Amino acid sequence: MLGISMMLLWSGGVMLAAIAVIVFVLYFRGTFCDRIEYKLINVPTPEDPRFPLALATLSNSVFTTGRCTEHWVEAENIYAARIAAIKEAKHSIHFETFFMTPGRRANDFADAICDRASDGVEVLMIIDHHGSNKLSKRYWKRLKACGIDIRFFNKFNWKAPIDYFARTHWKLLVIDGKKALIGGAGVSDFWDGIDNIKDTGAWYDFEMSFTGEVVAALQGMFMQH
């Protein structure tokens, strides 16, 4: 009897452990998290001439054209080009980035977009939640007080913690839907080189500006994010 009881107890323990592992895996996969559902209506059939364009749009693979107007490789020139483009904005500024840290570059950026927002320019920002976690709440409050719409990409959700590994590494600036600047530099003094980190050398990157149809495609991806 004692042997049977021990076997039943051991079997029960194994089953509980298995259930716990399954629940743990489902939890980290985000099974218990509410998901956004997208419903497509009026979808063209494969025989419809619009079908290839619709499919390309859904998969972010639309073939388009554009013109590269300028490019920059030094941090000073990259940030100067961004500030100049922001100052030119008359209707809208759409900005997305992964990396922002406290310092001169972040302050200069805030000054420029707040100035345009105060003149009635629509400013919409998508900032990666993880890449910008060093900036203070005061910084974001200042921007919001200027009327800037800020969305943080993929905040941590305890219902789906593993989803936090999905980040946006875009660095995109779209001005009035007509001009786009895209490259690899975040908004940080790291690209200039600073003294209080091990890698004190400047981080090298480049930036390019585009006009033409490609700007609409980039803005569409921005709106999707």
Tell whether 4 and 87 lie within a shared domain.
no
> Which residues contact residue 156 at a Cβ distance below 8 angstroms, ignoring those fewer than 6 apart?
129, 164
Q: Which residue has the higher pLDDT, 148 or 217?
A: 148
Dist. CA 76–CA 84, nearest whole Å: 12
- Whole-angstrom CA distances from 108 to 13, 79, 87 are 60, 9, 12
Evaluate whether residue 144 is within a structural domain: yes
Domain CATH for 85: 3.30.870.10
Tell whether 71 and 28 lie within a shared domain.
no
Evaluate whether residue 52 is within a structural domain: no
Mean pLDDT of the chain: 87
Q: How many domains are there within the chain?
A: 2
Tell whether 150 and 95 lie within a shared domain.
yes
Dist. CA 75–CA 85, nearest whole Å: 15
Amino acid of residue 91: H
Task: Give SS3 for 216.
Answer: helix
**pTM, whole model, 2 decimals?**
0.80
Confidence of residue 157 (pLDDT cuts 50, 70, 90): confident
Evaluate whether residue 62 is within a structural domain: no
Tell whether 148 and 83 lie within a shared domain.
yes
Residues 93-106 pLDDT 10s: 999 999 999 999 99
Which residue's structure tokens are 């302050």?
107
Tell whether 80 and 1 lie within a shared domain.
no
Dist. CA 139–CA 150, nearest whole Å: 12
Tell whether 216 and 166 lie within a shared domain.
yes
pLDDT for position 177: 93
Tell whether 156 and 205 lie within a shared domain.
yes
pLDDT for position 210: 97
Evaluate whether residue 47 is within a structural domain: no
Tell whether 114 and 171 lie within a shared domain.
yes
Indicate the pairing of strand 179-183 with strand 207-211. Answer: antiparallel
Phi, psi (degrees; rounded to nearest 5) at 129:
-65, -40
Evaluate whether residue 187 is within a structural domain: yes
Evaluate whether residue 86 is within a structural domain: yes
Residues 164-215 pLDDT 10s: 888 999 999 999 999 999 999 999 999 987 655 565 678 889 999 999 999 9
Confidence of residue 46 (pLDDT cuts 50, 70, 90): confident
Evaluate whether residue 171 is within a structural domain: yes
* Average of per-residue pLDDT across 23-41: 68
Evaluate whether residue 50 is within a structural domain: no
129 half-sphere exposure, CB direction, 13 A CA radius: 12
Tell whether 21 and 90 lie within a shared domain.
no
Range of the domain at 18: 1-32
Judge contact between 87 and 112, C-beta under 8 A.
Answer: yes
Tell whether 78 and 26 lie within a shared domain.
no
Tell whether 95 and 197 lie within a shared domain.
yes
Instruction: Assess whether pLDDT exceeds 70 at residue 5.
Output: no
Tell whether 23 and 72 lie within a shared domain.
no
Dist. CA 117–CA 115, nearest whole Å: 6
